[in-house]
Structure 1
Amino acid sequence: MGIKKNVTSTFGVSIEVDMLLKDVDVNEYDALAIPGGFEEYGFYDEAYKDETLQLIRSFDQVHKPIASVCVAALPIAKSGILKGRTATTYHLRGGYRRDELASLGVILGDEWMVVDDNIITSSCPKTAADVAFELLTMLTSYQEAQQVREAMGYK
């Protein structure tokens, strides 16, 4: 999904998205997963657009899981749905992204990954697998997620 049909990734890889954000029917999806990105490559340009923020709000309004990795917690917070809730984000470079998250009314968690009801946030790219397994737990069960975790070699 994207705001425009053709997207160039951080590393210069161009892709054509299969659906525009404005065409997403929240009822057709079980969850929303948002990867982080690099500011210098335009992550926030699209992450803070109204279409993105409205999509985040739409998933929260129907209480579907929203999973994020690293700085993807920031557009979730910018959407307003994290105000007064606990979350985390990128922790390096003096914690300036954590300060930004707090300025949006978020209670900062100190864990690598924070789960507040239906929202998963994490502190860095290294946590991507943990976020994925937590999302899988929300969508299935702890036992099923553990079975997948073990089959993939994670203990």
Structure 2
Amino acid sequence: MKVLLFCCKGFETMEFAPFVDVMGWARNDHGMKVEVVTAGFTKTVVSTFGIPVIVDKTYDEIDFSEYDALAIPGGFEEFGFYEDAYDERFLDLIREFDSAHKYIASICVGALPIGASGVLKGRKATTYHLGDGRRQKQLAEFGAEVIPDQSVVIDQNIITSFCPETAPHVAITLLEMLVGKEKAGIAATAMGF
């Protein structure tokens, strides 16, 4: 199984790392066949707070059919997150994953491009909840039924969450969807969850 971890410019490293670590523990220590492939619009993606990350593939090199899931870390507006997150090519990628009923997991404002793609219309979701709920209001404007007081929301194949603290929980939930709850629990327990 393969997870496409898409890094928009200005993504948060704290929301990126749990996907790499949880799937890495599952694969390396427990023999689960889960691979993470990082991607972005450019070979080097500069994260929030200026940390450059070299990704495995650029957008043009992605073959959608190779992947079972799409993971989307959130990011900061002032570091350019929404420039990539709302790029029509990325929104099309989200639509492709959803129309094929593949898993989509997001953390914090990573839910906003999912909303912008249109696939959350009439579906339950959440996003960053602090700051007077401004980001949750934006998600509602995209047609999502926002669950404001739930930290992780699952609606069919889509996982959304409301802040960086939820990152490992989202990654573990995605692992459960890929390999089953029992197997995922082995890796999660080994990591102290």
- What residue identity is the alignment partner of 1:129? P
Asked if residue 113 in structure 1 is aligned to residue 149 in structure 2, the reply is: no
* Larger RCO (alpha carbons 8 Å, 6+ apart): 2
Aligned pair count reads 154
Q: Distance in 2 between matches of 1:23 and 1:61?
A: 20
Q: CA RMSD in A?
A: 1.0
- What residue identity is the alignment partner of 1:105? G
CA contact (8 A) 1:35 1:72 kept: yes
Q: Distance in 2 between matches of 1:23 and 1:79?
A: 21
* 2:172 paired residue number: 133
CA contact (8 A) 1:3 1:51 kept: no
* 1:79 paired residue number: 117
Q: TM-score normalized by structure 1?
A: 0.95
* 1:11 paired residue number: 49
- What residue identity is the alignment partner of 2:154? V
What whole-Å deviation, never above 9, does each CA across 1:30-56 have from its counterpart, x for those lacking one?
Answer: 110000000110000100001110111
Q: Distance in 2 between matches of 1:107 and 1:133?
A: 24
* 2:59 paired residue number: 21
Query: Which is strand-richer, 1 or 2?
Result: 2
TM-fit CA distance, 1:4: 2.1
Structure 1 segments (4+ residues) deviating >4 Å: none
Q: Distance in 1 between matches of 2:60 and 2:124?
A: 28
Give me the identity figure in percent: 55
What whole-Å deviation, never above 9, does each CA across 1:34-90 have from its counterpart, x for those lacking one?
Answer: 000001100001000011101111111111100000000000000010011000000
Q: How does 1:59-78 map to 2 (within 5 A)?
A: 59-78=97-116
* 1:40 paired residue number: 78
Asked if residue 91 in structure 1 is aligned to residue 91 in structure 2, the reply is: no
Q: Distance in 2 between matches of 1:50 and 1:5?
A: 19
- What residue identity is the alignment partner of 1:77? G
- What residue identity is the alignment partner of 2:119? I
Asked if residue 54 in structure 1 is aligned to residue 83 in structure 2, the reply is: no
Structure 1: runs of 5 or more not aligned: none
Q: Distance in 2 between matches of 1:5 and 1:153?
A: 33
Q: TM-score normalized by structure 2?
A: 0.77
TM-fit CA distance, 1:28: 0.7
* 2:182 paired residue number: 143
- What residue identity is the alignment partner of 1:148? A
- What residue identity is the alignment partner of 1:72? G
